[in-house]
Chains A and B, each alone.
Chain A
Amino acid sequence: MSDYNFAYLDEQTKRMIRRALLKALAVPGYQVPFASREMPMPYGWGTGGVQVTAACLTPDDRLKVIDQGADDTTNAVSIRRFFQRTAGVEVTERTAEATVIQTRHRIPEHPLTEGQILVYQVPIPEPLRFLEPRETETRKMHELEEYGLMHVKLYEDIARHGEIATSYAYPVKVEGRYVMDPSPIPKFDNPKLAGNPAIQLFGAGRESRIYALPPYSDVVSLDFEDHPFTASKADHHCDLCGAAGSYLDEVITDDRGSRMFVCSDTDFCNGRQAEGHRGRLAAAKEVA
């Protein structure tokens, strides 16, 4: 173990965060203020998510950390090591085996189950912020359910691009009440927010806000009657595992315009390859 208290934060801080989490779960989609702490990492690296994870972890938990779906990127590796050192919990890359998953910008492809906790890192929790810069005003708008402004943003999208061009951080309405920013996940993941058996917690460290979706919440993506919401993704199959229905990253492979599309969820992609699925470029990769 280490000289740190379990999971870095002291027990009183974790109690304070748990109180905020309980309130957030009781009022789905509502942004609960909390006394965000300085963490030993810069803002924007997931200080909010790390605090929520620290408050949720028990010694028996198995932690998975992903960044843009991948287990092996800097952000994911450093946060995973942080909790290995300060909490001594087991870690895993397998979605199905994890009890707590901290994520940045994705919901895992593998369906989540009851008992799992998904912790999101949130940069800007206020969905109305870029339209209305005043915090006093946005709070009032939430209080009085004045969400017409959110549709002004979608209107502007259609007027300029012919369709709703917002492709990530797509605003949703929770349980028919609060409009919520689902953190910058691609809108492809929005349908997975709704009716999810796992507990979904959102932590914004710099902005000191926590919000949550209890299991099986009603979550609706905002849209217009004549321009309905569509969960979009690149129109390709994964070049490594051949998956047709997973969210894809586009990877430029040389300076002559070659590119490949691969699953952004590395665990999902590796799992499929282990089962013997092969995509268009999988053979080339094996040769290389």
Chain B
Amino acid sequence: MDGANMALPLLQVQGLTKRYGPRIGCEEVGFDLWPGEVLGIVGESGSGKSTLLSCLAGMQAPDEGAILWDGRNVLDFSEAERRRLLRGDWAYVHQHPRDGLRMGVSAGGNVGERLMAVGARNYGAIRGAAIDWLGRVEIGPDRIDDRPSAFSGGMQQRLQIARNLVTGPRLVFMDEPTGGLDVSVQARLLDLLRGLVRDLGLSVVIVTHDLAVVRLLADRLMVMKGGRVVETGLTDQVLDDPQHAYTQLLVSSVLQV
């Protein structure tokens, strides 16, 4: 990353609003995301965090607001540009690996798809990259020709991450990446994610209701309730010294073992 990029936030979100008829999805959400930064969005079910993420990633059109990427409003992009962004510089890790993977295609094909989508036409090179990335997410090279349906839930999620990161995106959206996994697998996945984020200098927007996940991964935290951002700050600051009543409730509700 060069100096010029460091001076500008990677992603600027301003006054983002999405309504479902009279109901509010999310309202007046704004933040800046800097290169290499991990932003956690937490809140209870129905707080608007998933709506926000799908608006950011271009899956839904927000009613108001702007999303600036490299200084340009993504909402003004043509569909071709937007989709090119989604398979190049951006990546989206779904909560359920089934939504993000092609279940009928081998692991190698899943990882290679994004490469082929951006023009790779050398089988050997694609396969090499697939083996490399499977290795980085701790999937053995002997599993490259197996279909995801033969993988465990944790492996599927790791495969989805490899598939998304293979083209070297600069910004990754994650929707509850550890949801549905048992705790020991969760811990390994988080460890892996933390390493990848640090090694690759990724910027990440991660949505979760699990405070432990953001404690481990996120630099900054945004707490949402009823579609609005109620508190924002450094992760440790928000979790250790919550100011808003809802954040205090959230932090105190974490089960202690």
Contact = CB atoms under 8 A, between A and B. Distances in A.
Contacts of A152: 102, 105, 109, 112-113, 116
Interface string A116-147: 00000000000000010000000010001010
Nearest to A149: B113
Given A151-B116, A155-B109, A155-B116, A144 B124 contact: no
B83 A156 contact: no
Interface in B105-123: 105-106, 108-109, 112-114, 116-119, 121-123
Given A148-B116, A148-B118, A155 B79 contact: no
A224 interface: yes
Contacts of B116: 148-149, 151-152, 155
Contacts of B124: 226
B118 A155 contact: no
B126 interface: yes
A256 interface: no
A77 interface: no
Interface residues of B, number: 24
A160 interface: yes
A224 B83 contact: no
Interface in B9-33: none
A110 B15 CA distance: 68
A159 interface: yes
A146 B105 contact: no
B83 A155 contact: no
A144 B79 contact: yes
Interface in B82-116: 83, 87, 102, 105-106, 108-109, 112-114, 116
B123 A158 contact: yes
A164 to B, nearest CB: 9
B164 to A, nearest CB: 15
A149 B123 contact: no
Contact of B117 (A148, A159, A224, A225): A148
Contacts of B87: 148
B118 A160 contact: no
Contact of A155 (B80, B112, B114, B119): B112
B79 A159 contact: no
Interface string B124-142: 1011000000000000000
A149 B126 CA distance: 14
A149 B87 CA distance: 12
Interface residues of A, number: 17
Contacts of B126: 155
B117 A155 contact: no
B145 interface: yes
A151 B119 CA distance: 10
B122 A226 contact: yes
Nearest to B84: A144
A160 B127 CA distance: 13
A156 B106 contact: yes
B98 to A, nearest CB: 15
A160 B145 contact: yes
Contacts of A144: 79-80, 83
Nearest to A158: B123
Nearest to B117: A148
A227 interface: yes
Contacts of A226: 122-124
A106 B116 CA distance: 30
A225 B121 CA distance: 6
Nearest to B118: A148
Nearest to A222: B121
Nearest to B147: A156
22 contacts: A146-B83, A148-B116, A148-B117, A148-B119, A149-B117, A151-B116, A151-B121, A152-B105, A152-B109, A152-B112, A155-B116, A156-B105, A158-B123, A159-B106, A159-B109, A159-B127, A159-B144, A160-B106, A224-B123, A225-B121, A225-B123, A226-B123
Given A155-B112, A155-B126, A159-B108, 18 more contacts: A140-B79, A144-B83, A148-B116, A148-B117, A149-B116, A151-B121, A152-B102, A152-B116, A155-B108, A158-B123, A159-B106, A160-B106, A224-B121, A225-B121, A225-B122, A225-B123, A226-B122, A226-B123
CB-based closest 5 A-B pairs: A148-B117, A148-B116, A224-B123, A151-B116, A225-B122
